[in-house]
Structures are given as C-alpha cells and as structure tokens.
A and B are shown apart, each in its own frame.
Chain A
Amino acid sequence: MPDMTQPIIQTRDLRKVFRTVKRASGGLGALRTLFSREYEDRVAVADVTMSLAAGELVGYIGPNGAGKSTTIKMLTGILVPTSGSLEVAGIVPYEHRKENGRNIGVVFGQRSQLYWDLPLQESFELLRAIYAIPRDRYRQNLKDFVDILQMDDFLRTPVRQLSLGQRMRGDFAAAMLHDPKIVYLDEPTIGLDVVAKEAIRQFIAGINAQRGTTVILTTHDLADVERLCRRIVLIDRGTIIYDGDVERIKSEYGRYRTLVLRFGQAVESPQLDGAELASVEGTTARFRFDRNVARPDLLIRQAGDRYSVEDVTIEEPELESIIRRIYVEGYAGQGAATL
C-alpha cells in the first residue's frame, strides 16, 4: 500500500527563469542581436509550492504557456530549477536524473517514446533492458497491458504503421512496464476519438486504483479531468491560482444552471420569476438561474402554467466553461492563492 502520510512529490517555491538574448528590431536588428549581450528574463514558473500524497491522481491544468510543461520537466530532472527546492520519491530529480528515471513513467500525447522503425513488442523488450525489469514481472505486466489495452493485433506491427490510438496505447504500456511510482501524462488523449479516449481514461483510472500509482495529468481536455481527478491544480502565468477539489470549484462556479425550454410556438420575451432570460432563438428560450435561490421543478411548473412547453432540459455547468471563466476573470473563491 502506498504511504499516504509522506508526500511523494514536494516542491517549495519552485522557480524557473529562462534567459534569452534580446532581439533588436529593424533592418540591422539581426546583426545587432549577433553582437549584443542584452538578455531578457522570462519567468516560466514562479514560486510553485505543492505537495502530492502517494496514490493521488491530480489534474495539472492551465492555459498554453502557463508553466505546466516546465514544472513537469523539473520534476523529471531534465530541467534544473532557478531557485526553490523539490523532491520526488525522496530524490532531488536534477541531481540524480537516472535514479529518478527509475521511479517515473512519462507519456507525451504529441511525441512517442517508442522506436519508430521497430515492432511495438521490440520497443517493449528494449525498455525491459533499460529498466532491468525482472523477466517474470515484465511478462506479467506485458500480458496485463496487452489484455487491458487490446494490443494483441498490432504487437508485431512497426510503430510507424500504427494509428494514433494504437500508438498511444503502446506508449501507455511502455511508460508503465517498469512499475513506476509516479507517472506524468502530458495531454495523453489529444487527437483521439471518443472510444480510444475512454479506453485510455479507464486505463489511467485502473493503474491509479489498482497499482496505487501517483498520476499527474496535464491536459486541455477537461473531460479527462472531470472523469479522473478529485483534485486539480490550476496554474496561470507560472503561479498556482487554485489547488483543491474539483467538486469545490464546481460548486462555487457552478451555482448557475441553465433551463432550456422549447415552446409550441414562438414566444416573444418570455418571463419566469426567479430566473433570468439568457437568450431566445425561434421557439427555444434559455434561462439562467441560481440553484441556491430557485428550484428547477418550480420553475418548470411556472413555465407550464404560462406557456405551452413541449420540451425541457437543464444544463449543468461543465468544468470547461468554469475554467474558461477563471482563465479570463481570475480565481477569487475560497482557496485562492494570495498574490
């Protein structure tokens, strides 16, 4: 069983500043850039402090360029932080890159770690040698993954001939063969169809539940997060703006629901007490209401009394629209990081 008392990942005031040569503009700009020594500092990650317990499955969310990948790269040991401290499974990653490599598995949705010219199976065998996985363990894991991910049909196909969905399944198995304590998943479902997405999500949920693997999931597909994570960490411009339950952020931002009514014939500016008309399109009207103030059943009865209603639906707020609002307006609820 994973030890829940000791954090498996711990960062304190983690900071990464990239220094680039400042480019002068204008016709001779390129020439001046060649000789100038003016630098520009870009803060990619600013004082990130977070702690993960073993066995957690956390969504690490933020807009493009927010600092997600930079954080992950520091956790994997390939980037050295500018300041601050971090520890992954008791190891400082950048000081002991290779030891850290044993503890982690990585899946990038946009690039593969499989060997392009070789059959999938041979990539796996290579990984067995790289991680010195005991033969029994390797055979058992491979068998499990082939079953769960249904890889039997293409195990002997060269990776370059695989479809994206097949390749991703292969990449997942590749990342998990050596029983890593922690896996970093960077957009693992990008570009996949709904069926493949669901298969991957089930696999992630499975390894987290059955093997106790700690998972950090970076994604733009918030359906992944909704389906898998209890906790999310929101990062924007290098700073953590929210760290806590998915449910809490949903209840704070999800107070408003939408009642969609379809009338028998077009109604001009329909009215309901306790709800605000959001839009009318032909015979369909949308009302926004605060679920702490108004009760949907009463609203529906009210609508039925006033108009001839043919169809009713209530729309739940999706995490996606909530996060979109937070990106635009900033987070101001409970648990907001003080800036």
Chain B
Amino acid sequence: MAAGAYVEFARKAFAREATYRMEVFTLVGSLILRVYLLRSLWTALYAQNAEPPGLPLHSMITYATVALLMSLVLEVDGTRLIRERVREGTIATDLMKPISVPIYFFSDGLGQTLLHALLIVPSLLFALLLVHVDVPPPQTLAAFAFAFLLGYGVNFFINFLMNSVAFWTLETFAMQLIVRWGSDLLSGQIIPLMFFPGALGRFVFALPFAAVYSTPLLIYVGIIPASQWPRYFFIQACWLASFGLLSLWVWTAASRRIVVQGG
C-alpha cells in the first residue's frame, strides 16, 4: 500500500473542509468573542479574590487564550467520519478497498486539523487586539509544542473510541455530548486543574483528559517547571499508548462484527 493514498486522504479532507467557508469564518468569529468574554470573566474573578500562587491575571488570560487557540485544532472531531460511514453503511465500501481503514480515518482527521490549524494565525492576530498573551522562552515553547502533540494523539484516540461505539449502537450522539462536557471541564480547557480543591484536584489530574489541555497549558504558563517536564511527558505518553492499544483492540472487535445497515 502506497503511503500516497493517505496523503491524498488528508489533502481531500483539507479541501473538503475549506469548501464550507461560512463555517470557517464563524469559527474564527466565535473564538474572538469567547476570548473577550473570558478576559472579562477572569478579570472580574481576580478582582474579587486573592490571586492564586503562580498564576497572576496576565498568566491566566494567556492560559485562557492559548486554550481557545488549541481548541481550534482539538475540537476537530476527525473521526466523526466513522460514525457517519457506519450509519450510512458506506463503511462497507471503505472496507472493500486495499487500505487500512483506521489510518484512512486518521489521515482524514489530520487533513481537517491542518485546515483548522491555519486558522490559528488570524485568530491569534485578532485575539492580540483584545488581550496580551505572554510569550515564554523558546525551550518552553518547544516543550509546549511537544506536549501539545502528545495531547493531540490522546484526544484523537478518545474521539476514535467514542465514534467506534457506533459499531455497536449506531448512534453515539448523546454519549459524545456527555463525554465532551466532561472533558471540557476536566481537561483544563476552561478552568486550570489546580483550581480544583484537594482530593478532587488530585483526581482530575489523574484523568486522561488532563493530558490533552492541562499539561501543555501548564507548561506554557510555567506552572510545570522544566525539571518536571519529563514526568508529565511520560504520563501523556502512557495515556497515548493505552488509548492507542485500546483503539486497536476495539477496531479489531468492530471489524469482526460489522453490520452494514440496510445491506
């Protein structure tokens, strides 16, 4: 199998997403609005409360803005294709081709992601009109990028697993909604996980969702010091490996019990 096919899948996904121009513009617009809202919210909260150690207001706003920019990429549900193709029964034609179907889904997701990644630049420029974003030293930026990459992998497999539920239930929307709400809150996308008190804090840090947003963001704002980076990378890599293996297992089970609807 030529790798060319997967590159082509990614390119086509990119082109396909780009055809929905209105959606792309709305995405950037709503992001800017959310940057503004979060700035007002955190400014008000900081004015009323004692400043948490290590996270002054400007760091918090940086955190929130970078989290929103990350969400441009991480909220792309690249593998929703599984759900759609199972429900429409077109997964059967995919399986009749000489390709690895999971890698096909991954490539398609990557293509969508790349388009959305391009949006980061204009979004950042607009955001800078509203807020000040701290820029850490280069090695911290590099560590952030690496952690982000690992987090992207973890996020991909979580989505893959959820969409694969379609093989059993054909409908996954309700479940996805619950997991998405859960992960929005527990991943550190909205609230830094250090704000969760005591045992609850330890619990949310132990969840896989923390590997997606919290770890890269806390590296970015300097809460996780350089000495701690390897430990956090290791935890992320462990989650990545576990979800990767679990996905492989689920995929094997799913392809064994493929039911093509209306077939």
Interface of A with B (CB < 8 Å)? 69, 73, 76-80, 97-99, 101-102, 104, 106, 108, 110-113, 115, 117-118, 122, 125-126, 129-132
Contacts and interface: CB of A to CB of B under 8 A. Distances in A.
Contacts of A126: 5, 8-9, 12
Interface stretch (B89-97, B137-145, B183-191, B224-232): B89-97
A106 B94 CA distance: 11
B99 interface: yes
A130 B15 contact: no
B99 A113 contact: no
A78 B4 contact: no
B258 A79 contact: yes
The 7 closest A-B pairs by CB, nearest first: A129-B8, A101-B98, A113-B93, A129-B5, A132-B2, A98-B98, A117-B16
Contacts of A99: 98
Given A69-B263, A80-B256, A111 B99 contact: no
Interface of A is mostly: mixed
A98 B99 CA distance: 6
Given A69-B263, A80-B256, A122-B15, A101 B4 contact: no
Contacts of A79: 258
A171 to B, nearest CB: 10
Given A130-B5, A132-B2, A104 B96 contact: yes
- Of A115, A125, A126, A130, chain B has the most CB atoms within 10 Å of the CB of A130
A115 B94 CA distance: 11
A179 to B, nearest CB: 13
8 contacts: A78-B96, A78-B258, A101-B99, A104-B96, A113-B93, A117-B16, A118-B16, A129-B8
B1 interface: yes
A126 to B, nearest CB: 5
A113 B4 CA distance: 19
Given A111-B89, A129-B7, 13 more contacts: A76-B95, A78-B92, A98-B100, A113-B90, A118-B15, A125-B8, A126-B5, A126-B8, A126-B9, A129-B2, A129-B5, A130-B98, A131-B97
Contacts of B88: 111
B254 to A, nearest CB: 12
Contacts of B2: 129, 132
B167 to A, nearest CB: 13
Given A73-B260, A80-B256, A118 B98 contact: no
B48 interface: no
A73 B92 contact: yes
Given A111-B88, A129-B4, A132-B4, A106 B96 contact: yes
Given A129-B4, A129-B5, A101 B12 contact: no
Contact of A130 (B16, B95, B99, B260): B99
B21 to A, nearest CB: 13
Give the interface size class of chain B.
20 to 34
B119 to A, nearest CB: 19
A101 B5 contact: no
Contacts of B96: 76-78, 101, 104, 106
Contacts of A101: 96-99
B19 interface: yes
Contacts of B256: 80
A77 B19 CA distance: 35
B4 A111 contact: no
B203 to A, nearest CB: 31
Interface in B1-52: 1-2, 4-5, 7-9, 12, 15-16, 19
Contacts of B7: 129
Contacts of A78: 92, 95-96, 258, 260
B98 A131 contact: yes
Contacts of A118: 12, 15-16
Contacts of A129: 2, 4-5, 7-8
A79 B260 CA distance: 10
B16 A132 contact: no
B236 to A, nearest CB: 32
Contact of A132 (B1, B92, B93, B260): B1
A118 B256 CA distance: 31
A159 B256 CA distance: 31
Nearest to A93: B96
Nearest to B8: A129
Contacts of B93: 106, 108, 111, 113
Contacts of B12: 115, 118, 122, 126
A78 B257 CA distance: 10
- Of B15, B19, B92, B99, chain A has the most CB atoms within 10 Å of the CB of B92
Contacts of B4: 129, 132
A132 B5 contact: yes
- Of B4, B12, B88, chain A has the most CB atoms within 10 Å of the CB of B12
A118 B8 CA distance: 13
A69 B263 CA distance: 7
A191 to B, nearest CB: 15
- Of B96, B100, B263, chain A has the most CB atoms within 10 Å of the CB of B96
- Of B98, B260, B262, chain A has the most CB atoms within 10 Å of the CB of B98
A107 B217 CA distance: 49
A73 B15 contact: no
